[in-house]
């Protein structure tokens, strides 16, 4: 089995955030502050562009294993991409109230943090962290 290409690094999250152009940088810094509070741990850089919080060991039905973060995000060029490893099946009601967004199996895409309802986003992220810790 191939090794996971995205792993936790010792690179500085602060140095990484400093390279992000505005206004995405401000959104990334605000999200870092929120997730640090919700997760109760410091962020780490995973790969070269994902800010992750916490760590867990995943084992898939196929037998594949990997170390991954509990929750994370990447300030991509066109959106903030949040990685919620438990997916969105349980969050339909929250997603309906969140504001403009797109989502795939485990990724939530926000064009601008200001467009999201902050209370709903906080509830969604806190629920995702709790679910990741319970599994």
Using alpha carbons, select from 74, 29, 54 the residue that is nearest to residue 126.
54
Confidence of residue 1 (pLDDT cuts 50, 70, 90): low
* Per-residue model confidence (pLDDT) at position 87: 82
**How wide is the angle at C-alpha 95 spanned by C-alphas 17 and 79, nearest 5°?**
30
Instruction: Average the pLDDT over 44-69 and give the result.
Output: 92
Asked if residue 26 lies in contact with residue 33, where contact means CB atoms within 8 angstroms, the answer is: no
How would residue 2 be classed by pLDDT, with cut points 50, 70 and 90? low
- The string of pLDDT tens digits covering residues 62-99 is 888 888 999 999 999 999 999 997 888 889 999 999 99
Q: What is the pTM of this model?
A: 0.93
Going by the DSSP 8-state scheme, the letter that residue 8 receives in this structure is B
| Average of per-residue pLDDT values in the chain | 93
């Amino acid at each position: 089995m191939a090794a996971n290409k995205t792993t936790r690094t010792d690179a500085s999250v602060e140095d990484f955030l400093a390279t992000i152009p505005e206004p995405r940088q401000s959104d990334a810094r605000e999200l870092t502050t929120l997730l640090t509070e919700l997760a109760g741990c410091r962020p780490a850089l995973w790969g070269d562009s994902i800010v992750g919080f916490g760590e867990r060991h995943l084992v898939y039905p196929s037998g594949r294993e990997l170390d991954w973060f509990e929750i994370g995000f990447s300030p991509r060029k066109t959106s903030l991409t949040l990685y919620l490893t438990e997916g969105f099946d349980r969050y339909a009601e929250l997603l309906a109230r969140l504001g403009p967004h797109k989502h795939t199996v485990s990724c939530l895409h926000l064009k601008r943090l200001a467009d999201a309802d902050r209370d709903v986003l906080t509830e969604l992220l806190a629920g995702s962290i709790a679910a990741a810790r319970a599994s």
